Chain A
Amino acid sequence: MVQTFRICEQHSGRSFICEPGQSVLKAMEQQGLRCVPVGCRGGGCGLCKVRVLAGDYECGKMSRVHIPPDALAKGEVLACRIYPQSDLAIECQPQQAVGQVTK
């Protein structure tokens, strides 16, 4: 039996299962949850930024603009590019200023 990991998002209190090798964001989407905002799913746009409060994970490449090295050191990551190696507690980051179309 494949070991799976439980991901808990603290703001919403929602949790979901993530398989090894699967990104946290993809696992969330597959289970129909929306507790982390979904953007490009490629580490580029920064919309799915979360802070990992507890647990081990591996990271894929992420835009340095959204995750500079000091942020990474504090556990700030993009949910689309983290792959859990244990159960994780994550926390959604406050929404960044959203683009305005009105002047």
Chain B
Amino acid sequence: MKKGVMRPGHVQIRVLDMDEALKHYTDLLGLIETDRDDQGRVYLKAWTEVDKFSVVLREADEPGMDFMAFKVVDETALQQLEKDLVAFGVEVEQIPEGELKDCGRRIRFTVPSGHAFELFADKLYTGKWGVTDVNPEAWPRGLQGMKAVRFDHCLLYGPELAATYDIFVNVLGFHLAEQVLDPEGNRIAQFLTVSMKEHDIAFIHHEEKGKFHHASFFLETWEDVLRAADLITMTDTSIDIGPTRHGLTHGKTIYFFDPSGNRNEVFCGGDYTYPDHKPVTWQAEQLGKAIFYHDRQLNERFLTVLT
């Protein structure tokens, strides 16, 4: 957080059919619809999140991720980060206040992996859904499906991890929590954080730019992950793998797909990190165990099925 980047703020995901997607993200994942705009985009949030939205769905011919945004502490930090990005040679685009409803101005830039990111300082504070700010109950009634707790992180696939690392670590103040190194010492996976979480954003090396591996949502317990798996079966939702554990982060996880083929994860647990922690390193020779700790081998979809 030393440069003022605080946490993931939102992700805009492209879907082929809005009605099908919305049913998936609300009825199954348990996100809450908070608004829609005149572009037809639908705004969603998880119940513990204090701002108005964290997931934006946009209907398009091609699924995938439009952009992911991080919230910064204040306007002063946003201005400084903008200057730092420009000084580093990054092209910065201005997105005016209100382009996403109830969100302040954003700056958007594309990193060498081919993914667009945004920074913003202001978004309408609506508080946690269904509980009060004062003397709150433990959880709200009326949550659906998996009852996702928060939008947690994204895993993205693309080239030029080193140049992407430079922007996230040297300009935006992220910290490398975990990595995968090949025998020559090249980093082929990088898990970056601005918090105590093992990743707020992660990248895996891939030749094609700008690919989306998954958006991840946090659950409290392993029992919740198993219950999510039950719901995936009950709704005949396309499953990828799990429930299982990752070696990287040691989180307990299940991967599945939205109706447009975008991968989702729900997970619980996982290690923690502080800025004085050295990165956890996995060797590429152990990639199977690093990704799927129990099977100790990759399923064929992990490296090839992307949007």
A residues whose Cβ falls under 8 Å from a Cβ of B? 37-45, 47, 61-65, 97-103
Contact = CB atoms under 8 A, between A and B. Distances in A.
Contacts of B261: 39-45, 63
Contacts of B184: 103
A44 B263 CA distance: 10
Interface string B38-71: 0000000000000000000000011110000000
B40 to A, nearest CB: 15
Contact of A43 (B16, B157, B188, B206): B16
Given A42-B259, A62-B16, A101-B189, 14 more contacts: A40-B261, A40-B307, A42-B260, A45-B306, A47-B301, A63-B62, A63-B261, A64-B61, A64-B62, A97-B207, A98-B304, A100-B205, A101-B205, A102-B284
Consensus secondary structure, chain A interface: loop
Contacts of B62: 63-65
B260 A101 contact: no
Contact of A99 (B238, B258, B259, B303): B303
Given A39-B301, A44-B261, A44-B262, A100 B206 contact: yes
Nearest to B162: A103
B281 to A, nearest CB: 15
23 contacts: A38-B301, A39-B301, A39-B304, A40-B257, A40-B261, A40-B262, A40-B263, A42-B16, A42-B260, A43-B16, A45-B261, A45-B306, A47-B304, A47-B305, A61-B260, A62-B16, A63-B307, A97-B207, A99-B306, A100-B205, A101-B287, A102-B182, A102-B284
B260 A44 contact: yes
B300 interface: yes
B223 interface: no
A30 to B, nearest CB: 11
A98 B300 CA distance: 10
B17 interface: yes
Of A63, A97, A98, A100, chain B has the most CB atoms within 10 Å of the CB of: A63
B233 interface: no
| Interchain residue pairs A-B with the least CB separation, the first 5 | A44-B261, A40-B261, A42-B261, A64-B61, A41-B238
A61 B17 contact: yes
B213 to A, nearest CB: 10
A45 B305 contact: yes
Interface string B129-157: 00000000000000000000000000001
B126 interface: no
Interface string B241-278: 00000000000000001111111000000000000000
A7 to B, nearest CB: 19
A63 B212 CA distance: 14
A10 B13 CA distance: 36
B37 interface: no
